[in-house]
Structure formats: structure tokens, C-alpha cells
Amino acid sequence: MAKRKSKHTDFITICETNHNLYIIAITSMPSCSLYDVINGGFSIPERTVSHRKSSSRRIAEANTVFVAYRFRGYPTKDQETELKQNIGAARFMWNRMLSDYNLMWKELGFTIPMTPADYKDVPGMEWLKDRDSFALLNAQLNLEKARSEYFSGDRGKPKYKKKRCCTDAYTTNCNNNNIRIEDNGIRLPKIADPIKLSMHRSIKPEGKLKNTTIIHEPDGKWYFSIVFEYPAEEIEPSFGLQKFFETGDRNEISGIGLDMSAPFLYIDSTGKKPSYELNGMEVRFLKQYRKLEKRIAREQRRRSHMVNDSNNYNKQCQKIARLHAKAKHRRDDFLHQIAVRLVRRYDLIAIEDLDMTAMKKSLNLGKSVSDIGWGKFTQILEELCNKLGKLLIRVDRWYPSSKTCSHCGYINKNLKLEDRVYVCPKCGHVMDRDKNAATNILEEGFRILEENMIRPAVEGYKKPSVLTTIA
């Protein structure tokens, strides 16, 4: 029986040292395969043959929280070179380990756990010793997590990372004070001097620095996301929620319901639409976003007439990247503005728990749903509510908020999508479709709150230490 030839020219040579498996060399043997290594008298210990799940990450204890600070950095040219080398090393480690895992699985039917240390002594890879070891380690952990999620069916198969088609970033961990904040700058492992940071806000004291993620955006800007661990503080519910917990009267709570609307982001239970303040003027966000898209398309057409990899071509790519970053930042600013207004004004916010992936594929609303960023908006709302002692309640996506009459409760099953005005066949109530849906969402949110909160008249009220979202 002819042995199967692999497309790979490099094969892993395995030896047994202290009853453990280690990768010790990369040899070029086109006529050899891993079958030859195994059949040559080497036996695999049973304890090493497994789909090892990803190593357990450090998880914050119940009395601690993680806080990330994102600052823009201004590295020198030499520091940029070193940072790019660390990014390239992390990408290389991901691709190399993924290739070896795939080869083992193809040839043997199982995989052998590996670490970045197994590659540093391999001929031709000694340069890995000069790179940040924590960057390589985090690349390994991310790969193991991706493979574990793939085998469990949660995500697709891990893919190779291309140089220009993936996020240029790496993460390094703080160990023995190797990462320090010094004079509006940050000192990183394997970097000679501190990197200057634009620290637009102060860092809370008494925090323990955990890790730092270095990000190189396509527009050429550098950002540093610094994670600190703080003791968890007891979050006091808002005054309105406290009065509700004491009396059980929903009138003590200021609440609002939000119905997702693609052109405007949402329509609330009062019938209002969100407004975006830009340069001191209230404008419609999606209209301004479309203007930026047209400008990006115009610059892309100009680039198509240039010679690839020429100086003008590269300058045009940078210009387009800056426009994309401007559109992203403008959308983030819009979402934060609206979220802060809502959380400061209301004690309870009720929204629908929508499946955004399914909505993008149906109803011809893919682009509009993606542009408004509803998923990120709800994430910001949840973070702010938990921080300020407010409540965010997610209503079941199958709740018929649009078909239910907010006046009498009748469900009109014949309501169509093109019907923008709700007319109740039973009581004759007339209301805007989206406003009617938002009103029903708010009412359902109150119902969920009353069912999940313990009333003092029943069992005695105990103030929760941390306010969480009610699902």
C-alpha cells in the first residue's frame, strides 16, 4: 500500500524526552511522513493523545472587575519597527502552530499539545527568542480557544492570518512589573524606551495592571488598550428603583421602551427618534454616514486608476483608511451620545433581544441594520446601566410587540410589514406601528421586572450587590 504524500515539505521530528512529547526540529524530508516516524518504533503515550481544550484564562474573582483604558500612542520609528516585529511574530506563531496541528490531524488523527518554547530552538527560528514571549503565548492560547470552539461546534474552522487581511495587534501580559506607566508613557517588554501616550483621562489608583493590547490601525495610528484589575464596588440602585423595591409601585420608576428601527436606530415609547449632535447641530446620523460612504467610494475610484504599490497608490490607501476610521469613530460617538442620554434619564430601559445576524439576511435590511450598529448600542447600554445602577431588560424576540394593541391587548395576526400605522380591529385604536411596538416592549419589561424582583411584602427585600440585566 502506497503511503500518502503530504503537500508539506517540512515535517515535524518527534522524540521522547522524560516520557513527554516535544517538537525538537523541523527537517526537510519530502519522502518522509509522520507515519514513518510513528511506525519507526516510536509509541505515543495515551495521556498525550487528546483534543486538549484551551488553557484556562485568568478570570476575575467575584470581588474584582477588569477596566480597560484605551490611549493613542506615538512610538518612534525604531519603536514602530519593534512593535511590528512583535505583531509579525504573533501572527507567525498562530499560522505555524495551526499548520502543524492540521498536519498532525491529517496524518495521525489526533494532535499533540505544543507551546511556543518548542519552536525557539528549531533551526531557522532562533529569531523568536528576541520577540516578546507573552505575545507568542497569547497567540497560542487564542489558537487553542479557536480550536476548542471549532470542535465543540460553536465556531468555524480556524483560518490562517494574512499580513494585510487581519488586525495588526498583539497582547502582552504584565509579569514582574515588566509593563509600567511612566511619565505619560508606557514601557513594554522588548522595547528599549517608554512609548509616549496621549493620556486623555487619568487612571484610577489601586489598580493592578494585567495586560496590554497593542493595536495598529489601517490608517497608521497606534492604540494601547491597558487592562487593570480593581476591587469590585457595590453598585447602588437608582433612587427610583429603590422606591419601587420598597413600595412595589411602578409609577416610582421612569421607564422607556425601544423598538429597533433601521433608518433611525430606534423609536421609543414616546414616539421620539434619536438625534445626533454634530458640530453643535442636530442631524440625522444615517444621512451623514451615507455622505461619508459616497466620499469613500469616490476616493476608491481614484485609487483604481493608480499603479499598484506606487507612492500615490499607497498615499491613497492611507487616505481611504482615514475615512473609514472617521466613519467608525462617528458611529461610536453617535451610539455613546444616545446611550448616555437614555441611561441618565431613565431607571428602566426595555429592548428586544433581536437576532441581528438573521435580520441582516432577511427583509432586505442588511446594510441599514449593519450601519446603525444596534448590537454595539445594546452593549453600551448594558455597561452603562450596570455602572450607574439602572436596569436594562431584554424582551423575548418572539414577543409580538408589533402585532399587539397597546390599548386593549388584541393581537392582529394579519398585520403586514408594509403597514406602518397600527389600527386595532377590535377597539379601533390608531397609533404609529413603531410607537405601538415600543409601548408594548415597555409594558413587557415592567411585567418581567415585577416577576423577577423580590417584593418586601412577600419575603423581605434584600438589596442586590451588583445590578445585572434581567434576561
What's the pLDDT at 280?
62
DSSP string over 401-470: TTTB-TTT--B-TT--TT--EEE-TTT--EEEHHHHHHHHHHHHHHHHHHHHSPPTTTT-----SS---B
9: DSSP letter = S
What's the pLDDT at 16?
36
Determine which helix (DSSP H) or strand (DSSP E) holds 312, and give its type and residue range: helix 311-345
DSSP string over 340-373: HHHHHH-SEEEEE---HHHHHHSTT-HHHHHHHT
What's the pLDDT at 50?
36
What's the pLDDT at 363?
58
What's the pLDDT at 7?
37
What's the pLDDT at 58?
43
Task: Identify the residue whose cell numbers are 497608521.
Answer: 220
What's the pLDDT at 354?
79
Kindly give, in sequence order, each residue whose CB lies less than 8 Å from that of residue 187, ignoring residues fewer than 6 positions away: 178, 179, 180, 181, 193, 194, 195
Pick the CATH number of 239-277+328-452 from 1.20.120, 1.25.40, 3.30.420, 2.40.128: 3.30.420
- Using CA atoms, how far apart are residues 23 and 14, in angstroms rounded to an integer? 6
Kindly give, in sequence order, each residue whose CB lies less than 8 Å from that of residue 219, ignoring residues fewer than 6 positions away: 318, 321, 322, 324, 325
What's the pLDDT at 434?
86
What's the pLDDT at 365?
63
- Using CA atoms, how far apart are residues 408 and 414, in angstroms rounded to an integer? 17
What's the pLDDT at 459?
39
Written as tens digits, the pLDDT of the chain (471 aa) is 444 444 333 434 433 332 333 333 333 333 333 333 333 333 333 333 333 333 333 444 557 888 899 999 999 999 999 999 999 999 999 999 999 999 988 888 888 888 999 898 888 899 999 999 999 999 999 999 999 999 998 889 999 998 877 789 999 999 999 999 988 899 999 998 999 999 998 998 888 999 999 999 988 899 999 999 998 877 778 888 888 888 878 888 889 999 888 778 888 888 888 877 766 666 677 788 888 999 999 999 999 999 998 999 999 999 999 999 998 888 888 899 889 999 999 999 999 887 777 776 665 666 777 777 888 899 899 889 888 888 898 888 888 888 888 888 888 888 887 778 888 888 888 888 888 889 999 988 888 888 876 443 333 334 443 444 454
What's the pLDDT at 40?
37
Total count of residues recorded for the chain: 471
Q: Where are the domains of the chain?
A: 59-231, 239-277+328-452
Rg of the chain in Å (alpha carbons): 28
CB 163 within 8 A of CB 92: no
